[in-house]
């Protein structure tokens, strides 16, 4: 029995499902999760000592690769001063200034410890600012596990949402309306029906939690126009795509200014850090200035801030994003060509350092289209690549990530492994 299997059996005795986040359990792909012992650059090693090319990058944060020497040095320099203070530090000001400089829609920012905390707090702030209750979200977009966000569409277009998790009261879910991603007609209908009730619309402008799905410019422009027209707060959830698709995030790519933005992943450099921020007049409603309460013992933790601030400084180097996008595009083009050689239905897409792999003939634009993919073939491909030492997300509904450490040799090795994996699917 492998050490990974031994650890998984042991973990299940004291941890529900043996994991501390569900996708890690390999439930959708089958098999035994890999327990990771160390990482460096574009690679990590499991408990059995096997090396993998890593395309999850801790689900996005490791944009510089694992254990980047300058980030490591920044963390080590603050460690000796203390792990946490529960009081302000100058570094918190520095990272806030950096975020406001890089994301022009953010005039003020509040640090938190997770993406869920950022989106939950941004929605509470939007409700407090507007004195309204209803929020709109989109099918396939994941904004963390706060109660009001674990909601699916009702049986009709504008019916109340239904909880998708046990423990979420229907009285909370009823304040959430779920619409189809990239569907402007549904959006217009919702605003005509509920415009005066809508506190906020929250969206992933580049979705990564139903696999990679890009919003259309028409869709995002419609969101901005309707929110402005009806006085609703537009929230861009850029926890995943922020600093991943461009230095200024998806809002830079699309040229659209949200009212609030949620950030995470990259801004922690691999440490637990996230943030939400936006218009000064909205942020002024947060305690201690206003009546919307939000707090966090570890918010702005000095170690996380050190890792995040150094990461934000390094990704501003000239040509960083051009090189990152080029390597990501090389990966998806190579995988597409390998699938074509094997005559396996497949498509792929990328933007910045994010990518999506789809076992279908064309790139999807909604959750309904994503669900038409061949998950059986994806699962077989995932395991063939895992056996070959390439670690993709263990789910057909997750985006992948490339780092600046994924050089030509790493990408070429991945494509070589994929030729064999696709050939086995066609056999």
Report the catalytic residues: 142, 237, 265
Q: What does the DSSP assignment read for 148-201?
A: GGSEE--SSTTSPPEESSTT--HHHHTTEEEE-TT-HHHHHHHHHHHGGGEEEE
C-alpha to C-alpha distance for 292 and 134, rounded to whole angstroms: 17
Helices (H) and strands (E) in the chain, counts: 14, 18
| Residues whose CB falls within 8 Å of the CB of residue 88, separated by 6 or more in sequence, listed in order | 300
C-alpha to C-alpha distance for 77 and 94, rounded to whole angstroms: 16
Q: What is the edge-to-edge ordering of all strands in the sheet holding 233-238?
A: 108-112, 274-278, 260-263, 233-238, 198-203, 134-138, 176-179
Task: Give which of 276, 277, 313, 306 is closest to 63, Cα–Cα.
Answer: 313
C-alpha to C-alpha distance for 178 and 168, rounded to whole angstroms: 16
C-alpha to C-alpha distance for 397 and 418, rounded to whole angstroms: 19
Assess contact for 301 and 113: CB atoms under 8 A: yes
């Amino acid at each position: 029995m492998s050490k990974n299997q031994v650890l998984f059996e042991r973990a299940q005795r004291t941890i529900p499902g043996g994991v501390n986040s569900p996708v890690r359990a390999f439930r959708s792909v089958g098999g035994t999760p890999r327990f990771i012992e160390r990482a460096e650059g574009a690679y990590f090693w499991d408990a059995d000592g096997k090396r993998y090319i890593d395309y999850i990058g801790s689900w996005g944060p490791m944009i510089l690769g694992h254990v980047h020497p300058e980030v490591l040095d920044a963390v080590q320099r603050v460690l000796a001063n203390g792990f946490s203070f529960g009081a302000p530090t100058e570094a918190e000001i520095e990272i806030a200034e950096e975020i406001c400089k890089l994301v022009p829609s953010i005039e003020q920012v509040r640090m938190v410890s997770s993406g869920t905390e950022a989106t939950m707090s941004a929605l509470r702030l939007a409700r407090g600012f507007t004195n309204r209750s209803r929020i709109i979200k989109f099918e396939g977009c994941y904004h963390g596990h706060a109660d009001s966000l674990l909601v699916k569409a009702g049986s009709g277009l504008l019916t109340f949402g239904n909880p998708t998790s046990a423990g979420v009261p229907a009285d909370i879910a009823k304040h959430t309306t779920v619409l189809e991603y990239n569907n402007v007609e549904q959006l217009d209908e919702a605003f005509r029906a509920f415009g005066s009730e809508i506190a906020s619309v929250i969206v992933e402008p580049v979705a990564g939690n139903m696999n990679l799905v890009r919003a259309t410019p028409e869709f995002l422009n419609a969101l901005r126009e309707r929110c402005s027209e009806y006085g609703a707060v537009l929230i861009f959830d850029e926890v995943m795509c922020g600093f991943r698709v461009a230095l200024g995030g998806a809002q830079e790519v699309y040229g659209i200014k949200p009212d609030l933005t949620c950030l995470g992943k990259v801004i922690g450099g691999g440490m637990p850090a996230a943030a939400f921020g936006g218009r000064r007049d909205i942020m002024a409603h947060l305690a201690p200035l206003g009546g919307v309460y939000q707090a966090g013992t570890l918010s702005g933790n000095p170690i996380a801030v050190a890792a995040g601030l150094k990461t934000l400084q390094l990704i501003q180097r000239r040509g960083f994003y051009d090189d990152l996008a080029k390597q990501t595009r090389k990966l998806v083009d190579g995988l597409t060509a390998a699938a074509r050689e094997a005559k396996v239905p497949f498509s792929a897409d990328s933007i910045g350092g994010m990518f999506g792999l789809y076992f279908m003939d064309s790139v999807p634009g909604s959750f309904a289209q994503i669900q038409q993919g061949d998950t059986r073939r994806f699962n077989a491909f995932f395991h063939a690549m895992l056996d070959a030492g390439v670690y993709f997300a263990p789910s057909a509904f997750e985006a992948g990530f490339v780092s600046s450490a994924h050089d030509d040799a790493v990408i070429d090795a991945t494509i070589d492994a994929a030729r064999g994996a696709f050939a086995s699917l066609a056999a």
